[in-house]
Amino acid sequence: MDTDREFEHMMMSVRNSSGSITQMVYAANMLQIKLVQFVARLAYKGYLSVKSRDDLAAFAKLSEGKYTIYSVPVSTEHVNDLKQLEALKLELQNVSEKSEKKRIQNDISILKERIDADSPVEQLNEKGLKQCCVLPKVDGESGTIQIAVMNKDDQIFKSWFASHIRVQMSGGKKEITDLKNFTEGNYTIFNLPFEGKELEDACRDFNALKMNYSILPDLKVGNDNSQIAVANADRNKFEIWIKMYREDMLKQEKQPGNIYEMDNESYMDTAAVNEDEYINNASLEYQKVNSEFEEHEVPGPKVNVMQKDDSEEFARLKKDGNYEMVTINRETLVDNMAFSSVSKKMREKGYFVSRIPGTYGENEKHLILPAENVFVADEGRTYVGFIPKNKPSMVAENGNVKTASYENIHKQYENVTRNMAYAKNLRPKAPNVNNATVHQKLLFKQLHLWYNERCWKKYDNEYLYRSEN
């Protein structure tokens, strides 16, 4: 079958020198394989060049799957040049006449010279980043390209990216450079849970309040989020506006989105794109091609491969201000949860599913997270999950998968933390029973059992005192 040959070719491209698929690529990086497979399918059907396919496969092997994809804003001309270059590569591989090949190769050389003059890759090379991969332009949108960067080179990339963004700034009331100079660097970046017309309306409010601010470039268009830099001197004005915004949303019976502070690195992390997002954002014609292959696939069991809390990805997410870290007790919230058919289905698809604290019985709800955002800790007794602040998460409720805002999910875990601290402060110190009578010892034991039973009922059976008892 064509699909079998296509898949085998793709797998051969990620084999190591001994002929076996590296454990790193095969086991821990299924998303990377999915990406390579997607590009290989487009190349097989003639939508992308074999060169683009091979370049990505080589980078996946070289990086051992340890890379991050970033959306980088560039000029429309640069995007168009890259598309034209891909078309010429396709044309070159389909001609056999020498004179025609020579003509196309000459056109490629001229075009590459123009691309290199304004290429982020060339600029990164000058900064010392020698290995990266520009992914094929498949989303059809002008203004951004996707670059895969090895994790070991992340800081080099971020240093270049910060200066690149400043060049791309269109600004709000002030250009970011003007704001930086005006405030002597005393400004704060906030994430706004909207974009487009809602952002335009908000800017009119900011102007009316005479705020000093700058709208930062949207590094992930279409995710319903924007970023704003506000002069610290005008922070009170901005907080007044936040209160007005939330009140207005509640009056309209709408859930207000999460507005939160972020640092420069967290802002740049909004440009990160995972493999599923890259594929799902592709133009319909490319998605159709991919679907045709998937129809002939025999689905196998999805393996959840979770990393430990000492991994590079854990450290990255912990620093990323766009995520909130929550701890998930394995015994109470995973092993002893009441699985619904929907929850089972989501787990089979490779998601991590756990009971949300404070929900049980008929009202039990399950949090559904991508497995790559959950990590094993405490020798397997605890999981650490990262929930996004800038978008809703999936929740299984009453046999359906719904979305829930960050605020609604986080408060459930926050309540458990608050209860733990509250109960710890209330807990009486145990008297010294070494010198007590037998009767007193029995009384202490009864009181101890009663107290524990009370706490278990009150705090949702979360084993809050297991470590203390």
Helix segments in 64-153, DSSP class H: 76-93, 98-117, 120-126
- Count CB neighbours of 125 within 10 A: 14
State phi, psi for 366 to the nearest 5 degrees: -120, 130
What band does 147 get if pLDDT is binned at 50, 70 and 90? very high
What band does 73 get if pLDDT is binned at 50, 70 and 90? confident
- Structure-token pair, residue 204: 């009119």
- pLDDT tens readout for residues 285-305: 999 999 988 877 665 555 556
pLDDT at 443: 54
- pLDDT tens readout for residues 433-460: 454 555 555 555 555 554 444 444 444 4
Using CA atoms, how far apart are residues 180 and 188, in angstroms rounded to an integer? 10
| Domains delineated in the chain | 2-162+271-295 (no CATH), 169-262 (3.30.70), 312-419 (no CATH)
State phi, psi for 185 to the nearest 5 degrees: 80, 5
- Structure-token pair, residue 142: 């002008």
- pLDDT tens readout for residues 77-93: 999 999 999 999 999 99
pTM to 2 decimals? 0.74
Q: Which of 237, 157, 163 is nearest to 205 (CA)?
A: 237
Please give the residue that has the higher pLDDT: either 448 or 370: 370
